[in-house]
Amino acid sequence: MSDRFSSLTEYSPETRVFGRESEYRPPKSWRTWLIGRPLPTADAPHQTIGKAIGLAVFASDALSSTAYATQEILVILAAAGSAAFGYAFPISIAIVALMAIVTLSYEQTVHAYPDGGGAYIVSRDNLGIMPAQVAAAALLTDYILTVSVSVSSGVAQLVSAFPLLAEYRTWIAVLMVFFIMVVNLRGVRESGITFAIPTYFFIVMMFSTVLIGLYRHFSGSLGLVVDPPPLEIGHALQPITLFLILHAFSSGTAALTGIEAISNGITAFREPRSRNAGITLIAMACILGSLFLSITFLSGKIAAIPSEAETVISQLARTVFGGRNVLYLMVIAATTVILILAANTAFADFPRLSALVAKDGFLPRQLTFRGSRLVYSRGIVSLAVIASLLIVIFQASVTGLIPLYAIGVFLSFTLSQFGMAHRWWKSGRLRSGETRREAGSTVHHDPYWLVKMLINGFGAFCTAVVMMVFAVTKFRDGAWIVLFIIPALVFAFASVHRHYQTLASKLTLENFGSPRAIQRHRVILLISTVHRGALHALNYARSISEDVTALHVAIEPADAEKVRAKWELWGDGTRLVILESPYRLLLEPLLQYIEEIDARRQPDEIITVVVPHFISPQPLSGLLHANTAEWLRKALLFRPGIVIVEVPYQVGNGNGRLRLPKPPTRHD
């Protein structure tokens, strides 16, 4: 084999490259109406945001979990009767403590990864490919569940205020997902203001609720929930066991979901971005923690009952505000909207992560293509479809979905923090002032590496323990599904990667000499009858090679005779082989003939089989003819050096117009 060097000598200085912009402009269609006019690539936005807006953009996912976390703790405790509800507050204190640890841990990530340090990137850079794929699988699963859970909880708030909607809850939820999908296909500019208004509205409303609630509680005027929904308990009352407490704790950890969002989006912040992002993270954790704690505290005091019919938030709000009044409705509206924003966050994260994973070659490359509005349309649509499916299967029940949720989050927390810990260890190995460039970031020597490693390590340890508690206590409730799906996804990622890698290694031009020029080009022209289409194909065949053999597979001897006579008249010197097919088969004798020729083929020789193909404008006319070329192409797919060419010959009143099949495809 000649190596790359020899090819360089063949390098031709005359290779000319012309560049031009296509003048094609997409026409208006129903898609324009639904998702807006297509945007050129140059329109991609590059804007940054400050801390206040940053909080609004990234906190909705985390804050929205206060809408259901308390209730899900109570649902589990309800198995031991309402007497067990007293454990909710201590459990929430433990969860907030965990939250503090995770926040501290992520604070370090934000500073170490100024270009964005999501669990996937941190795992990939510090732990390797396999852990990164596990993190990706966990995150993708969780983004899907974020959509299902948030939208279901949003609908639950609506149903609490308007009980008549209860029977349509599944369809309202699916409609909401569809709505969020369309908004995202239009391309959400994270312009901030659209996020800021509802997020701050939610923060204000919730703080008003809990502050007034606390004031009324301590002044003794709060009282209990009026007319609470009935407590639904399965069979006999369970005793209060450690398992039950841990089970409730697991459900409550849903409050931590979304806390990692800022570490993904550091690049969106104004400079100094790490510092701004870090402050925002701590602010978010404080708001989240205090809201969660006070909601849980007050729910206990007013004796709120967990129920699918009315959410705990709804019970709390109407108790605090003394009925279903305007303030109550404002709380419900704010909660519903923030839950929808949370789902919207997943719609930003899922396509971005899947594009990242696809770019690394672990998911189909199509996921890296940006659609007409510069968003990863395929990822957005996939997310909407899968999340809707989950909503339909679980009938939009938050309690049904919760056991699937959070396990992925904690898996990614663990990997991410363990990755950080490993990074600090590497940092400690460096000498002072020394740096090491890595794929996603640069490792500096850090004098405090040991403390930082211990913080991240402790965070990783805690989240790993919680994850295991979660897996054990919620295994039968549905966690097993996720424990099955994540390895399956990792396996799929690996298969996709292997395919792309094999392909790349077979296609690479490294150590590849120029392929040998084709010295001989044999053309076999398939003739069923001698007609204009056949002569057109003959003309084509002769334009590509001097060496043309016409081939007629003789099924009926009478037809063969006709072909022979006509060929003598019209064949214009091209030799004709009549291959008698005693068993009246077309494809098999043909393939055997091609095989025979192929067996004698030299490496610098190529065989083209030309098949005349007449194109009729009548729609069903294809049924009246055999599609020989298609069969041949399939049969010879794995044969190197053989090309099948269909030469179309348009008959009938074809107007030569362009027929554009939908959907348009993109590069492979």
Shortest spacing between CB 359 and a second copy, in angstroms: 11
Shortest spacing between CB 525 and a second copy, in angstroms: 13
Q: Does 562 participate in binding a second copy (rule CB under 8 A)? A: no
Q: Which of 1, 9, 18, 167 binds a second copy (CB under 8 A)?
A: 18
Q: Does 19 participate in binding a second copy (rule CB under 8 A)? A: yes
Residues numbered 110 to 139 that lie near a second copy (CB under 8 A) are none
- Give me 536's structure tokens: 């057109």
Distance CA 76, CA 90 (A): 14
Q: Does 16 participate in binding a second copy (rule CB under 8 A)? A: yes
Span interacting with a second copy, options 66-74, 95-103, 289-297, 560-568, rule CB under 8 A: 560-568
Q: Which is nearer to a second copy, 200 or 593 (CB)?
A: 593
Torsion, Cα of 524, 528, 531, 532 (10° steps)? -40
Q: Which is nearer to a second copy, 154 or 371 (CB)?
A: 371
Shortest spacing between CB 273 and a second copy, in angstroms: 24
Q: Which is nearer to a second copy, 131 or 612 (CB)?
A: 612
Q: Does 597 participate in binding a second copy (rule CB under 8 A)? A: no
Q: Which is nearer to a second copy, 98 or 594 (CB)?
A: 594
Distance CA 210, CA 202 (A): 12
Binding mask 186-205 for a second copy (x = CB under 8 A): --------------------
Q: Which of 177, 406, 567, 607 binds a second copy (CB under 8 A)?
A: 567
Q: What angle do CA 95, 100, 105 make, to 5 degrees?
A: 125
Shortest spacing between CB 563 and a second copy, in angstroms: 9
Per DSSP bridges, beta strands 435-437 and 442-444 are: antiparallel
Question: What is the identity of the amino acid at 578?
Answer: I
Shortest spacing between CB 575 and a second copy, in angstroms: 5
Distance CA 99, CA 353 (A): 24
Chain centre distance of CA 591: 44
Span interacting with a second copy, options 71-79, 144-152, 280-288, 641-649, rule CB under 8 A: 641-649
Q: Which is nearer to a second copy, 477 or 598 (CB)?
A: 598
Q: Does 30 participate in binding a second copy (rule CB under 8 A)? A: no
Chain centre distance of CA 158: 28
Residue position matching structure tokens 């007409």 = 372
Question: CA nearest 340: which of 156, 166, 69?
Answer: 156
Residues numbered 440 to 499 that lie near a second copy (CB under 8 A) are 496, 499
- Give me 599's structure tokens: 């067996």
Q: Which is nearer to a second copy, 16 or 46 (CB)?
A: 16
Shortest spacing between CB 539 and a second copy, in angstroms: 5
Q: What angle do CA 641, 644, 647 make, to 5 degrees?
A: 145
Q: Which of 40, 50, 86, 223 binds a second copy (CB under 8 A)?
A: 40
Distance CA 331, CA 321 (A): 10
DSSP 83: G
Distance CA 279, CA 285 (A): 10
Span interacting with a second copy, options 13-21, 232-240, 296-304, 427-435, rule CB under 8 A: 13-21
Q: Which of 220, 230, 239, 664 binds a second copy (CB under 8 A)?
A: 664
Q: Which of 194, 208, 290, 366 binds a second copy (CB under 8 A)?
A: 366
Shortest spacing between CB 546 and a second copy, in angstroms: 11
Q: Please enumerate in sequence order all residues whose Cβ is within 8 A of that of 372, keeping only pairs 6 or more positions apart, or say none.
A: 26, 31, 35, 38, 39
Question: CA nearest 648: which of 610, 615, 609, 608?
Answer: 615
Q: Are 375 and 354 in contact (CB under 8 A)?
A: no
Q: Which is nearer to a second copy, 26 or 487 (CB)?
A: 26
Shortest spacing between CB 600 and a second copy, in angstroms: 15
Distance CA 613, CA 134 (A): 50
Residues numbered 576 to 595 that lie near a second copy (CB under 8 A) are 576-589, 591-593, 595
CB atoms within 10 A of CB 661: 6
Shortest spacing between CB 512 and a second copy, in angstroms: 6
Q: Does 436 participate in binding a second copy (rule CB under 8 A)? A: no
Q: Which of 179, 574, 597, 601 binds a second copy (CB under 8 A)?
A: 574
Q: Does 617 participate in binding a second copy (rule CB under 8 A)? A: yes
Q: Are 111 and 274 in contact (CB under 8 A)?
A: yes
Q: Which of 52, 93, 333, 645 binds a second copy (CB under 8 A)?
A: 645
Q: Does 573 participate in binding a second copy (rule CB under 8 A)? A: yes
Q: Does 535 participate in binding a second copy (rule CB under 8 A)? A: yes
Q: Please enumerate in sequence order all residues whose Cβ is within 8 A of that of 464, keeping only pairs 6 or more positions apart, or say none.
A: 410, 414, 418
> DSSP alpha helices (H): ranges in 406-448?
407-429
Residues numbered 305 to 364 that lie near a second copy (CB under 8 A) are 364
Q: Which is nearer to a second copy, 171 or 649 (CB)?
A: 649
Residues numbered 371 to 390 that lie near a second copy (CB under 8 A) are 371-372, 374
Distance CA 149, CA 65 (A): 9
Distance CA 496, CA 366 (A): 12
Distance CA 112, CA 441 (A): 8
Q: Does 508 participate in binding a second copy (rule CB under 8 A)? A: yes
Distance CA 418, CA 122 (A): 9
Distance CA 410, CA 95 (A): 13
Q: Which is nearer to a second copy, 426 or 542 (CB)?
A: 542
Q: Does 239 participate in binding a second copy (rule CB under 8 A)? A: no
Shortest spacing between CB 376 and a second copy, in angstroms: 11
Question: Total residues contacting a second copy (rule CB under 8 A)?
Answer: 142
Q: Which of 269, 467, 533, 609 binds a second copy (CB under 8 A)?
A: 533
Chain centre distance of CA 333: 29
Distance CA 118, CA 248 (A): 28
